[in-house]
Amino acid sequence: MTALIEIDGLTKRFGGFTAVDNVSFNVARGEVLGFLGPNGAGKSTTMRMLAGFMTPSAGTARICGHDVQRDSLAARRALGFLPEGAPTYPDMTVEGFLHFVAAVRGYRGGEAADRVAHAIRLTTLAGVRLQPVETLSKGFKRRVGLAQSMLHDPPVLVLDEPTDGLDPNQKHEVRRLIERMAPDKAIVISTHILEEVDAVCTRAIVIARGRIVADATPKELEKRHPSGKLDDVFRLLTVPNKDAA
Amino acid sequence: MRNIIAIADRELAAYFATPVATVFIVIFLVMQGTLTFNLGNFFERGQADLNPFFTFIPWVFLLLIPAITMRLWAEERRLGTIELLLTLPITQGEAVLGKFLAAWLFCGIALTLTFPFVITVNVLGQPDNGVIACGYLGSFLIAGAFLSVGSAMSALTRNQVIAFVLAVAVCFLFTVASYPLVTEFLSKNTPVLAEIARRLAVIDRFQAFARGVISARDVVYFATFIGFWLFVNTVLVEQRKAD
């Protein structure tokens, strides 16, 4: 079985507070994993550790077999990462920014130009490619971040809220894009939009207060509440006192 | 190496994409000009050299270089782009070096634009252009020294004002460390420290260059100084990146 992402016992403590508590899961090629949870549940922290940005207090994460701490550069080469809030350099143009990422990813000359053009096509940014990022709307900025993450066609994609701030049409486009790429990649997307899980994910993990509280297909999850609605299941799993259910 | 160039290239473009470059260069040239010609009595002295110019340059750098370095890391942290930058396949060291080299090259450009001083002094008399070249080398090195301090201070905080003040303070300490006021005070109380302060001071090394003396020890001093602070910079980025 080709697990491209292997997370084992990942833990992050900030002082006395445990943000992520002993989280383990694998993601195989072809899987789209929806990473769900209320704000502050530890989604972004887990993703940051997976991307090698934060050092875990305990546990390991591997991308394509490379440990993100010990073999960090190899792991990062195999990874496309969209950080929370899709940060980009505001004074750069879309094309300038993507050319910078292409250069750091090791592409030169014609190949770099091809990569940038391809990423712009995938995320339909052609109309704004010469505009500075700071002049763009939230939806466009998010797509610039997406373009950056998939520029090198990585086997592993980790996207922190890829559709946040997009309008319904753009959301639809991004989901189609993720679906198209899904067969040859392992993809993790975090979201708190539950309909997204139904739309694109083959599997969902619900995290609350730093721990995994469910790991199942969206269909199985829906069965966990009599109403059969993901909304209700989400509340059932993540609200501390079960009186909400 | 390619990664360092890619980072430096982006940084340098960023200076010129915003008014930072223009404002810095204009203010730098105006300050250097005013100080050299007015306070430095450039014409009244009747000597064909750039001594007044080189006397003031460390102090102008002390004020202006932290203004360049304050954004280097603090801004990345505030914008969140540090998360993007450090999850790209580059090492922290490459990122630190790329940013530093871009800033140093930018200071080099600003220094180059002071060429009218050299022309002026050559029109008015017969200066020793070797000494002038040597002074420029010293100026470039002291710029690098201040930049390395400023860059490290910028990695400490996400607040650019704090980064600026810290950088000015630390650079100031290294500048005045060999001044009689400091060394006399230290030699009265702790003579060992006085000697250390004298050896660590930036300004004496720079003044040797301004007099036209290049010694291997001074060059090694600047290289070590810059290397040390860039190392501190790298450690700080690693330790505090996710704060």
Cβ within 8 Å of A, B 193-232: none
End-to-end CA distance of chain A: 38
DSSP H stretches of helix in chain B: 2-17, 20-34, 51-79, 81-85, 92-112, 115-124, 129-154, 160-176, 180-189, 191-200, 202-210, 216-240
Residue B109 dihedral angles phi and psi, to the nearest 5°: -65, -45
How far apart are the C-alpha atoms of A177 and B129, rounded to whole Å?
Answer: 64
Q: Which residue pairs, CB below 8 angstroms and at least 24 apart, start in B111-114?
A: B111/B136, B111/B139, B111/B140, B111/B143, B113/B25, B113/B29, B114/B29, B114/B32, B114/B53
Picking from A77, A100, A148, the nearest residue to B10 by CB comes out as A100
Q: Give the pairing of strands A3-14 and A17-28.
A: antiparallel
- Strands of A29-78 (E only): list them: 32-36, 58-63, 66-67
Q: Give the pairing of strands A186-191 and A156-160.
A: parallel
Q: Look-up: residue for tokens 């704090």?
A: B162
Cβ atoms of B143 and B60 within 8 Å: the answer is no
pLDDT of residue A242: 52
Picking from B14, B89, B241, the nearest residue to A76 by CB comes out as B89
B18 and A CB contact within 8 Å: yes
Q: What is the DSSP letter of A78?
A: T
Q: CB distance A91–B3 less than 8 Å?
A: no
- How are strands ordered across the β-sheet holding A17-28? A17-28, A3-14, A58-63, A66-67
Q: Which residues from A are below 8 Å from B90, CB to CB?
A: 73, 104
pLDDT of residue A1: 54
Q: Give the pairing of strands A79-82 and A32-36.
A: unpaired
Q: CB distance A54–B242 less than 8 Å?
A: yes
Picking from B14, B80, B91, the nearest residue to A73 by CB comes out as B91
Q: CB distance A92–B10 less than 8 Å?
A: yes
How far apart are the C-alpha atoms of B163 and B147, rounded to whole Å?
Answer: 12
The two tokens of residue A91 are: 């004074």
The two tokens of residue B57 are: 């340059």
Q: CB distance B89–A104 less than 8 Å?
A: yes
| For chain B, domain boundaries | 2-240
Residue pLDDT tens, chain A, 245 long: 578 999 999 999 988 899 999 999 999 999 999 999 888 888 999 999 999 999 999 999 999 999 999 999 999 999 999 999 899 999 999 999 999 999 999 999 899 999 999 999 988 899 999 999 999 988 899 999 999 999 999 999 999 999 887 888 888 888 898 998 899 899 999 987 888 888 889 999 999 889 998 898 888 888 888 887 778 888 888 887 654 44
SS3 A226: coil
pLDDT of residue B20: 86
pLDDT of residue A244: 44
Contacts of B60 (CB under 8 A, 6+ apart): B28, B31, B32, B35
Exposure letters A32-56 (e unless 16+ CB within 10 A, then b): bbbbbbbeebbbbbbbbbbbbbbeb
Q: Look-up: residue for tokens 């006085």?
A: B194
SS3 A202: coil
Picking from B2, B14, B89, the nearest residue to A91 by CB comes out as B14
| For chain A, domain boundaries | 1-78+156-245, 82-153
Q: CB distance B242–A55 less than 8 Å?
A: yes
A99 vs chain B: nearest CA distance in angstroms? Answer: 10
Classify domain A1-78+156-245 at the CATH class level: alpha beta
Picking from B6, B83, B86, the nearest residue to A103 by CB comes out as B6
Cβ within 8 Å of A, B 32-91: 79-81, 83-84, 86-91
Handedness of CA A173, A179, A184, A187 (dihedral sign): positive
Q: CB distance B87–A83 less than 8 Å?
A: yes
Q: CB distance B6–A104 less than 8 Å?
A: yes
Contacts of A186 (CB under 8 A, 6+ apart): A3, A4, A5, A27, A28, A29, A30, A31, A33, A155, A156, A157
pLDDT of residue A245: 42
Cβ atoms of A82 and A166 within 8 Å: the answer is no
SS3 A13: strand
Q: Which residue of A has its CA nearest to B80?
A: A87
> Per residue in A144-192, pLDDT tens?
999 999 999 999 999 999 988 788 888 888 889 899 889 989 999 998 7
pLDDT of residue A111: 93
Q: CB distance B14–A73 less than 8 Å?
A: no
Q: CB distance B241–A76 less than 8 Å?
A: no
A233 vs chain B: nearest CA distance in angstroms? Answer: 33
pLDDT of residue B180: 79
Mutate to test the interface with B, among A13, A104, A108, A156 (most CBs of B within 10 A): A104
Mutate to test the interface with A, among B84, B86, B92, B241 (most CBs of A within 10 A): B84
Which DSSP helix (H) or strand (E) runs through A6?
A: strand A3-14
Cβ atoms of A19 and A13 within 8 Å: the answer is yes
Q: CB distance B83–A101 less than 8 Å?
A: no
Q: Which of A120, A121, A128, A119 is nearest to A92 (CA)?
A: A128
Q: Look-up: residue for tokens 């110019």?
A: B53
pLDDT of residue A241: 62
Number of Cβ atoms within 10 Å of the Cβ of A183: 8
How far apart are the C-alpha atoms of A100 and B3, rounded to whole Å?
Answer: 10
Q: Which parts of chain B register pLDDT below 50?
A: none
Picking from A54, A73, A87, the nearest residue to B89 by CB comes out as A73
